[in-house]
Structure 1
Amino acid sequence: MAEWVEAGSKAPSFTLTADDGSKVKLGDLKGSIVVLYFYPKDDTPGCTKEACAFRDRQSELVKHGVKVLGVSPDDKDSHVKFKEKYKLNFPLLVDKDHKLAEKYGAWREKNMYGKVTMGIQRSTFLIDADGKVAKVWKRVQVDGHDAKVLEEVSKLKG
């Protein structure tokens, strides 16, 4: 099983397709703080709550120069529907083959009622303006997570 990317290490690079068809490259975001969050599935209760919390904090995050990127194994069409339904104001990236999730360690064994499967473990990586991982949340509890992320962003901006 893939190891987690830890705080202090260089963020693994990526180029993924966003919901609008554009390509998002981590390298192009150098100079910005990036909140890269992995979530299991579009339009499910926890994932919707998390996405809407980041949506509602967007103006505060932008003030700090933060770019929020949501990542799941859903396809582009699913992302488009999810984004439109909840008026999300940040890109959702397609990681169909979960290669990026594996690179970051977010693709993990999950045990649901004794049935073991592989899937996304809800997690967030805060990447500083130099491309280093500043903070990792490995088992995100949705409630209050947006506030914790904002708090860490403030520390980065110091």
Structure 2
Amino acid sequence: MFGLLATAQAAELKIGDKAPEFNLLNQAGETISLNQYNDKWVVLYFYPKNDTPGCTEEACSFRDNINRLIAQKAVVLGVSLDSQESHADFAKKHELPFNLLADESAEVTKQYGALLDLKVIKFAKRHSFIIDPKGNIAKIYRSVNPKEHVRDVMKDLKALQDRE
């Protein structure tokens, strides 16, 4: 139990913090880094597992709203501990038009405070972040409803952009 508590308390990012940099493989085997999206809004969402009901619903909701998000000058990046090959299958099966990043070592997920480590199994919690064009955390979602999340992200993204 203490291990769970320690993991839950690790890396508690706050609004205004610099978003931790990363270099991860996407579903096509290309290295994607956060800094390549400087000057863009980034929606970085962590999810437990490819092809599970909630994760599929959330990914497809991002897919179905991708043009609205692009119109809001945002890039969507999904992250889980699944392999690059698993991401490739998942993205192809559901026609996902955004990068899915493989964090098999769980290092990035841990940096963002989204790792659930049960010792026998590790997975990403369903946490999301909006990162502003300067690379700072602008919004944190620690409790995500896969069905409504994209709507909340688009509304919050608009409010954040209106403040600029």
Q: TM-score, normalised by structure 2?
A: 0.89
For 2:151, the aligned partner's letter is A
Q: Distance in 2 between matches of 1:6 and 1:108?
A: 19
Task: Tell me the residue number matched to 1:134.
Answer: 138
Task: Determine whether 1:48 maps to 2:56.
Answer: yes
Q: Helix, strand or coil: the match of 2:60?
A: helix
Structure 1 residues 75 and 33, CA gap change in structure 2 (3 angstroms):
same
Unpaired stretches in structure 2, ≥5 consecutive residues: 1-6
Q: Does 1:156 align with 2:164?
A: no
Amino acid at match of 2:18: K
Please tell me the residue identity of whatever aligns with 2:111: K
Are residue 74 (structure 1) and residue 82 (structure 2) matched? yes
Aligned residues: 154
**Aligned in 2, Cα 1:29/1:47: closer, same or farther, shift over 3 Å?**
same
Q: Distance in 2 between matches of 1:59 and 1:67?
A: 10
| In 2, Cα distance between equivalents of 1:41 and 1:108 | 12
Normalised to the residue count of structure 1, the TM-score between the two structures is: 0.93
The CA deviation at 1:142 is 1.1
**Sequence identity, in percent?**
40
User: What is the root-mean-square deviation of aligned Cα atoms in Å?
Assistant: 1.5
Query: Does structure 2 conserve the Cα–Cα contact (< 8 Å) formed by 1:33 and 1:127?
Result: yes
Q: CA deviation at 1:120?
A: 1.4
Of 94, 105, 109, which residue of structure 2 is paired with 1:101? 109
Letter in 2 for 1:145: H
Higher share in helix: 2
Contact 1:4 1:106 (8 Å CA) reproduced: no
Task: Judging by fraction of residues, say which structure has more strand.
Answer: 1
- CA–CA separation in structure 2 for the residues paired with 1:45 and 1:20: 23
What whole-Å deviation, never above 9, does each CA across 1:52-86 have from its counterpart, x for those lacking one?
Answer: 00001100000111000000011111101100110
CA distance in 2, matches of 1:117, 1:77: 19
- Output the amino acid matched with 2:41: I
| Distance of 1:118 and 1:6 partners within structure 2 | 23
List per-residue Cα deviations over 1:117-147 (Å, max 9, x = no partner).
5431101010001100000001211121100
